[in-house]
Structure 1
């Protein structure tokens, strides 16, 4: 591995492992140390259209704005990964040599390090020769992996990744560790990985705020109608509760929750009132039934949005659960939280040493 690396490729073994969040926190630390950073995401996976009907990668746009990167420090997307693109490749109508496009990737003048974000998994993009191992080889780049801690079996995926990447695997960051598991990860899993040649550069405990979604995002995903307090869609939801029991049981149930979204029928005034008196961030009423005036008035006073959906309870819960599983980072309060967590738990100086880089200054 070269002493000084122009690129660092950040990948993961499974989708939604928190790569974007970790990159944002890492980049912030590097900037604080005086390094000039560039960022790129060769495969676009969070696509939308701008006012000119051009495809935009939302993560790239957000990263550039948050880190205040100049245009020349944002590398271009090489491939928008969607169904149409995949089938063009399968059908032979896309013969683009993406490895050749990769060769044009270059660190802008004066940049100390280019952070590249890989696709959802190690092998995603292989159809286009843009899987993480292929990008790493083409750019002679070291790789850092971000893995979410689901159980001690995290060691399996990391050992497999080590076998796949070899010496290019510079280190790993394990995040979303339940607080009651942090000690065992530090005392047993981390030393095990170290013994197998896998350096652990950070262990991040679970943070409910980072796992939360905004009420605005729930409105978007559910196609919901906002019945009141559309000015409070920035509230963050950390958990989901279903109100389908009697009111006495509901009160006890809701009091155990924190920053909840409560799904219940539009005709369940008793459940709605119980939810409003606890730690509820929004009410989601199913069946497209309007709430009573008393409920709307109380929600207005408490500044709690009420959403109405033309869906049954099961479908609503499935959509909300899926939204929690695909949490985005695009809220300022989350940016602040991840910066603080990475500052505390990520070994940025060790990363710089392994990259052969020296901090220009420490702020």
Structure 2
């Protein structure tokens, strides 16, 4: 079985977006593909089962047959870290992950494992991304975001912790790159990472639609009455104005792409 551990260099780097794309491509290739997020921080409860939001998303989008508890075996609720440090958590979290991993991986050709944040997240409970990847024997793919120096620095730093735990890094993906304004950035980052023996596997251009909600999205999630949709409800919202003031002051704060 082929497998890959998807990690990031920090929050909001686009790891889950990359996971969605990878999982879609793998499933479309015809291979039996599984997904698991061993440790989650933001979670919701579905049919009485607490699970990481990303695991819930993947199961819903791709109609995964696995039990939700297997897709998200460990989640960290408020107060969990303190309880763990104080010795009040008796569960064998590693065993729970290994058991769920074995069930999800059974009869699969490919398994995508999604981490949580950067390589060190989870170390406080003995389950950092590097530790979990080592436990599962999974090579890592690191996702960073646009720029030149910062993504290279972040990727090299995270690679060091994976290396410390004996986890090979298959390569890196840099997301949110301004290729329109700086078309040579991809080549530059590729060259910079090559100096450290890290392969740049892909560069994803920055697209506002992936970072900003649209009016159509909000209408699906929020109750309320739509007063004016504007010419294009699928246009990304660029600015939000709270109309808790006199009308003339509201108008001063409203411009193209504004949501009131």
TM over 0.5: same fold?
A: yes
The answer as to whether partners of 1:144 and 1:171 remain within 8 angstroms in 2 is yes
CA distance in 2, matches of 1:218, 1:28: 25
User: Are the aligned partners of 1:17 and 1:148 in contact in 2 as well (CA < 8 Å)?
Assistant: yes
Residues 1-363 of structure 1: matches in 2 within 5 Å? Answer: 5=2, 7-50=3-46, 52=48, 54-71=49-66, 75-104=70-99, 105-106=101-102, 107-166=104-163, 168-180=168-180, 182-215=182-215, 226=224, 228-229=226-227, 237-240=236-239, 261-269=240-248, 271-272=250-251, 275=254, 279-280=256-257, 282-283=259-260
Distance change (3 Å), C-alpha of 1:93 and 1:156: same
Measure, in 2, the Cα distance between the counterparts of 1:274 and 1:158. Answer: 39
Deviates further, 211-220 or 194-203: 211-220
Structure with bigger RCO (C-alpha 8 Å, 6+ apart): 1
Q: CA RMSD in A?
A: 3.2
Aligned partners of 1:204 and 1:10: how far apart in 2?
16
How much has 1:171 moved relative to structure 2? Answer: 0.8
Q: Deviations over 1:215-245 (max 9, x none)?
A: 5887999xx984644999x7554312xxxxx
CA displacement 1:59-114 (0-9 Å, x = unmatched): 11111121222226983323221322112102210033322333322244331111
Larger Rg computed on CA atoms: 1
Are the equivalent residues in 2 in contact too, given 1:39–1:75 (CA < 8 A)? Answer: no
Q: TM-score, normalization: structure 1?
A: 0.61
Contact in 1 for aligned 2:38/2:72 (Cα 8 Å): yes
Aligned residues: 253
Contact 2:208 2:236 in 1 (8 A): no
Per the alignment, in what secondary structure is the counterpart of residue 48 of structure 1? strand
Which residue is equivalent to 1:322?
Answer: none
Give ranges in structure 2 of 5+ residues lacking alignment: none
Work out the CA distance in 2 between the residues paired with 1:213 and 1:181: 23
Deviation, 1:279, is 3.5
Given that residues 182 and 205 in structure 1 are in contact (C-alpha distance below 8 angstroms), is that contact kept between their aligned partners in structure 2? no
Separation (CA, whole Å) in 2 of partners of 1:115 and 1:225: 35
Distance of 1:70 and 1:225 partners within structure 2: 31
Closer/same/farther in 2, CA of residues 186 and 38 from structure 1, 3 Å limit: same
Q: CA deviation at 1:28?
A: 0.9
- Partner Cα distance (2:199, 2:7) in 1: 15
Instruction: Mark the CA change 1:182 to 1:38 in structure 2 (over 3 Å): closer, same or farther.
Output: farther
